[in-house]
Amino acid sequence: MRPHDRRTTELLAAVLADQRDDRVSVEALLAPLQRRAFGFLLLLLAIPNFIPVPLGIGGPMGVLTALLGVQMSLGMERPWLPRWLRRRTLSRAALTRFLGRIAPITRRLERLCKPRLERLTVRPLTIASGLIMILLGVMLALPIPFTNYVFGVLLLAFAFALIERDGALLLLVWFATSACVLLSATFSQALLAVVRDLL
């Protein structure tokens, strides 16, 4: 089976297995992915939404997601990362635990995902994906309670849609993200009204 035909989790597991050190650089993770690097980076950005991390991590994760969206909306085929970020390392053990933790979700997504409606996954429609990615990043960065897991699932679905070239799933992510934005805005307004009444 050719590398680009491997399933997402298989590819991630293979990259981790090839690393002998306890920590893996972002550059090493992205090297074999080429055009699928956008989706793989989104997969990495989903990690903090499923594991215990310090409060406020949604801010930087959201900013990075939005920056990826900007690059995609500009028509870039591969993401650009500054050298300091490419050289950042991640714990191989933590990545392995993450892979196991999200296994129930990834198995379902992999069963559903397949190359279809591929025109939605390439230029010029990647511009639309970039704009939705920016929106998702902004929402992730905002301090909206009880939304990290929801946005994490959306990031996972977005990642799989890009990696597996699944335009149907991509459409679903576009609509789901738009719906979450509307619901979050409604919830935030209602919460603000309650707080004002209490004060």
CA of residue 7 relative to chain centroid, distance: 16
Nearest alpha-carbon partner for 15 in 2, 36, 31: 31
pTM of structure: 0.70
CA angle 144, 147, 151 (to 5 degrees): 120
Task: Please give the sequence-ordered ranges of beta strands (E in DSSP) within 37-158, or none if there are none.
Answer: 89-91
Note the pLDDT tens digit of each residue in 145-167. Answer: 666 777 778 888 888 888 888 88
- CA distance to 189, 191, 199, per residue, from 196 (Å): 11, 9, 5
What pLDDT is recorded for position 50?
67
Residue extents of the structural domains in the chain = 3-198
Token pair listed for 61: 């994760």
Ranking 50-59, 67-76, 77-86 by mean pLDDT, the lowest is 50-59
Residue 24 scores a pLDDT above 70: yes
Give pLDDT tens digits for 102-161.
Answer: 777 777 777 778 888 888 887 888 888 888 889 888 888 776 666 677 777 888 888 888
